[in-house]
Amino acid sequence: MPLPNAGQIDLNAMHVEAGGTSATEAGINDADIRGLLNPTPNSGSQMDFADWYGASAGRTIPIDFYEHGFGSNIGDVRVYIVDSTGGLITPITGAVSSAGYVYQSIGQFSTSSTTPFRRVQKTVTIAANQSYRILHTVINGLSFRGDYAVRDLLVGGTRYDFASNATGWLTSTTITSASGAAAFTSAQTVTTASKRQKWNRRTGSTPSSSTGPTTASGTFYVYAETSGSGNGIFYLFSPLVT
């Protein structure tokens, strides 16, 4: 019977034996198994998967990306870990609030459109064997000078610079969705455009003056096109990591 990779294992039900002659036989019973655990339980017949020496009950996710926030109306930027359909995954470690987000930045932090993108790095842990997406949101309740942008995002071991396309990246199509799961139901592929209420792939400058980054030709980023479109949340979903 295969061992579970989560939850509890009944030690009294486990016995491992290597076959051979009487001189070469080897057996491991429940007492021996307890000796492999860290820390070793002194009593009881059950253990958790995380008790095994060297075992991990969690999946480590590196949060690593570059961001640009030039504009007097840059809103509340938050990063979450979500499941395949956009539902929130509450991290075991790494959350910065009870709301479950793992990163937050509020307001303008870049001094001009040509200010270099700043790097964000941290580590988050979620339950083992959990598929996930990284979700970037911008809460815009101000005006059109709020074109927040990201580039060179690390997701599942792949660095996305958006130089050729944004394969696997999805954007919400309305800013009225109340949650990531709701936004995901109508999410569309990120494209090279400047459509309002969406994240768009772009090089150079954003359409509005005094907001957003300016990059050299061929250096791409994705950004939330605010354009005075009103209050709401812009959702950007990464490709699914299984």
Residue 168: which of 190, 185, 195, 150 has the closest Cα?
Answer: 190
pLDDT mean over 3-32: 59
What pLDDT does 53 receive? 53
What pLDDT does 14 receive? 57
b/e sequence 71-88, b meaning 16+ C-beta within 10 Å: bebbbbbbbbbbbeebeb
What pLDDT does 86 receive? 98
pLDDT mean over 206-228: 93
What pLDDT does 15 receive? 54
As a whole number, the mean pLDDT across the chain is 86
Q: Is 233 exposed, middle or buried (0-12, 13-18, 19+ CB in 10 A)?
A: buried
- Looking at the fold, whether 91 and 158 belong to one and the same domain comes out as yes
Residue range 159-189, pLDDT digits in tens: 999 998 889 999 999 999 999 999 999 999 9
Q: How far apart are CA 178 and CA 216, in angstroms?
A: 36
Position 118 in a domain: yes
Q: Give alpha helix (H) positions in 2-150.
A: 30-34
Domain-ending residue, one of 16, 34, 51: 51
- Looking at the fold, whether 80 and 194 belong to one and the same domain comes out as yes
Percent of the chain with pLDDT over 70: 76
Identify whether the C-beta of residue 161 lies closer than 8 Å to the C-beta of residue 220: yes
- Tracing tokens 């792939």 back to the chain, one arrives at 201
**Tokens of residue 139, six digits:** 């809460």
- Looking at the fold, whether 29 and 103 belong to one and the same domain comes out as no
- The residues, any chain, with a CB within 8 Å of residue 179's CB and separated by 6 or more, are 86, 87, 88
Q: How far apart are CA 80 and CA 149, in angstroms?
A: 16
Domain that holds residue 20: 8-51
pTM of the model: 0.78
Residue range 106-161, pLDDT digits in tens: 999 999 999 999 999 999 999 998 999 999 999 987 789 999 999 999 999 999 99
Identify whether the C-beta of residue 192 lies closer than 8 Å to the C-beta of residue 202: yes
Range with top average pLDDT, 39-48, 49-58, 179-188: 179-188
- Looking at the fold, whether 114 and 77 belong to one and the same domain comes out as yes
Residue range 76-117, pLDDT digits in tens: 999 999 999 999 999 999 999 999 999 999 999 999 999 999
Flag whether pLDDT at 42 surpasses 50.
no
pLDDT mean over 188-193: 94
pLDDT bucket at 227, cuts 50 / 70 / 90? confident
How many independent structural domains does the chain possess?
A: 2
> For residue 238, how many other CB atoms are within 10 A of its CB?
22
- Looking at the fold, whether 20 and 65 belong to one and the same domain comes out as no
b/e sequence 124-157, b meaning 16+ C-beta within 10 Å: bbbebebebbbbbbbbbebbbbbbbbbbbbbbbe
**Tokens of residue 154, six digits:** 């690390």
